[in-house]
A = this chain, B = another copy of it.
């Protein structure tokens, strides 16, 4: 359909526009890229590209800018992920390696990604549902008041207060704690319900209510806290959007504050491999002039969460994708080590 040279022209347009942020004309194209043809020929190609919806003119007799469809083609067919340089890789490793706990890992990742891409970075905390249980702790705070602490293999800690129907002895509590842990430690969250549901039956009638309450709270924590958290950074980079951005930046800031929206956005991305959503491909309309590059990361083979960046559609896709992929890889390593 599209000739080889036309694709080349589109690639050149995207690259130039990303660099200059100004509509690019036929003459400038032939000068900067050594296409072996004249401006007039390029004009013909541009007309065809515009006809097919890959580029557009902001105003008659101005240069062309890529459309969402044009960027899509560029990303799918014309762009290679640009690997980071060895020094950059080392810097990433050093910076992430200094993290002391999970919060710190996520915090550093966000700052790193924002810094590397000069865009807004979004990092999801490792998801509970895909994590496994490292430990469950039960503390007696008062005669009829317990605290349940759940520790995941990714270092996340969740706590819940439990009001017991009847007081429970320390001995029974220790027993419960031991049996609970022997059942669930190392198991994935999804599998926990089936493993603990018959636990109350094996206790004395007196304690059964309390044990049930504990089990119920545990399951509740697993479900409710699937509500996933995320961290955002680099919002100052939004000012790079352009001179027209007062109206552009506002809906983006609003969207970024709605973590639910962002989580959904990340969730929609394919599980493995990198996902690029361009402009109107994003469901949320506040993000219709932005692109989202996201990828899963995890401590093992499997992704436990996602991270990505949000930037203007006119972003440097190869560079951004390279940075996102590299950061995800190293975060995975760090998580695996801890």
Contact = CB atoms under 8 A, between A and B. Distances in A.
A253 B239 contact: yes
B257 A234 contact: yes
Contacts of A249: 239
Interface string A131-149: 0001101010100000101
A233 B238 CA distance: 16
Given A103-B229, A149-B151, 20 more contacts: A134-B141, A135-B139, A135-B147, A137-B137, A137-B139, A139-B151, A149-B149, A149-B157, A157-B157, A157-B159, A233-B257, A234-B257, A235-B256, A235-B257, A236-B250, A236-B257, A238-B253, A239-B249, A243-B246, A245-B246
Q: How many copies does the complex hold?
A: 2
Contacts of A254: 236
Interface string A16-44: 00000000000000000000000000000
Most B CB within 10 A of own CB, among A157, A229, A235: A235
A157 B151 CA distance: 11
7 contacts: A103-B229, A137-B149, A149-B151, A157-B159, A234-B257, A239-B246, A243-B246
- Chain A binding site: helix, strand, loop or mixed by DSSP? mixed
Contacts of A157: 149, 157, 159
Interface of A: 101, 103, 134-135, 137, 139, 141, 147, 149, 151, 155, 157, 159-160, 229, 233-236, 238-239, 243, 245-246, 249-250, 253-254, 256-257
A54 B250 CA distance: 33
Nearest to A229: B103
